[in-house]
Amino acid sequence: MSFTANVKNEISKLECDKSEYISELCGFLINSSTYNNNHLIIITENASIARRYFSLIKDLYNNVPKITVRRQYNFNRNNSYILDYYNEADKILEKLSLYSNNDIAYYPKEYIISDEEEMKAYLRGCFISSGSINDPKTSRYHLEFLVKIKEQATLINSILNHFNLKSKILNRSKGYMVYIKEAEKIGDFLRLMRAYSSVLYFEDIRIYRDQVNMTNRLNNCEQANVEKTINTANKQIEYINTIKKYDALNLLDDKTIEIANYRLKYPETSLQELSEIISLETNKNISKSGLNHKFRKIKDLATKLESRVKDNG
């Protein structure tokens, strides 16, 4: 079962106040039902969702639908649950203030989302009907609502951002996508929906991924530092060998010659490590900056020797 299905199963079992049930039902019906010839039809592949809205409409409006279960012949071969409210379906929509011009209104009345708990319930209905979340084990974090009506996309986006979830709207060929990309904000959304088991799963995976990414970054930094150290040491050895090639070591002072010999003896050590080795073996302290100064002398001499040879043809 997908992560999205697990989230929907969890939140479709929540118990709420009557006003929240009504707000949730509005969010669900606006985005996941059709009304035609006084038939209000709900179709879902999730049995838990079918049970929830069957019970909600029955308890709130004493209306029982005709239920049809069909075997899907798609890749997943899921069952499809069809709830057909053929008896006074218009009354259900009227009581929800969703009946408009002999069709479903695609924007709720203000009282449906008049406080934050009702906003959350409305979002819950919208998510159950048209939302999805990538499993945090996948390569990217992504939560989205796919809706057909621009006003509905704007409303969902407005409510999400009321709770500081940093959602955005994208115009798609067959409607609108309201989406959230930040992992932290997706976790906040799940908490907002009271999907606490899903939050624990999501955050566990997110923390694990963050730790792996941090380890990889540290390894990459360490590798880069090692490569930088080796490249620097190789360049220093190259300068020393250039001076030796022209038999010009005697142009350096004794201390610099000693440093050059230590570099040849320890070709892969960093400057800090080399300074510690020299200080330990000679019993004379020399700092990393002191080594840098000596190696600049070596570089300058090697560069001058090469330049003189080129000038003399």
Per-residue pLDDT tens over the stretch 31-56: 988 888 889 999 998 899 999 999 99
19 or 219: which carries more pLDDT confidence? 19
Q: Confirm if 256 and 294 have CB atoms less than 8 A apart.
A: yes
Q: How many domains does the chain have?
A: 2
Q: Indicate if 106 and 169 belong to the same structural domain.
A: yes
Answer whether residue 201 is part of any domain. Answer: no
Q: Indicate if 153 and 279 belong to the same structural domain.
A: no
> Does 214 score more than 90 pLDDT?
no
pTM score over 0.75: no
Range of the domain at 160: 7-194
Mean pLDDT for the chain overall: 89
Q: Indicate if 260 and 148 belong to the same structural domain.
A: no
Q: Which residue is it, tokens 């039809």? A: 41
Q: What is the 3-state secondary structure (H, E, C) of 265-300?
A: HCCCCCHHHHHHHHHHHHCCCCCHHHHHHHHHHHHH
Q: Indicate if 238 and 114 belong to the same structural domain.
A: no
| 134: helix, strand or coil | coil
Report CA-CA distances (Å) from 288 to 65, 162, 266, 267, 294. 82, 55, 15, 16, 10
Q: What is the pLDDT of residues 284-312, one digit of tens each?
A: 888 888 888 989 989 988 888 888 877 77
Q: Indicate if 145 and 47 belong to the same structural domain.
A: yes
Residue 62 exposure: Cα atoms within 13 Å on the Cβ side: 0
CATH code at 148?
A: 3.10.28.10
Q: What is the pLDDT of residues 85-113, one digit of tens each?
A: 998 889 999 999 998 888 888 889 999 99
Residue 129 exposure: Cα atoms within 13 Å on the Cβ side: 24
Q: Indicate if 109 and 138 belong to the same structural domain.
A: yes
Q: Confirm if 141 and 181 have CB atoms less than 8 A apart.
A: yes
Q: Indicate if 111 and 241 belong to the same structural domain.
A: no
Amino acid at 47: A
Q: Indicate if 141 and 13 belong to the same structural domain.
A: yes
Q: Indicate if 145 and 253 belong to the same structural domain.
A: no
Q: What is the pLDDT of residue 147?
A: 93
Q: Indicate if 132 and 218 belong to the same structural domain.
A: no
Residue 217 exposure: Cα atoms within 13 Å on the Cβ side: 6
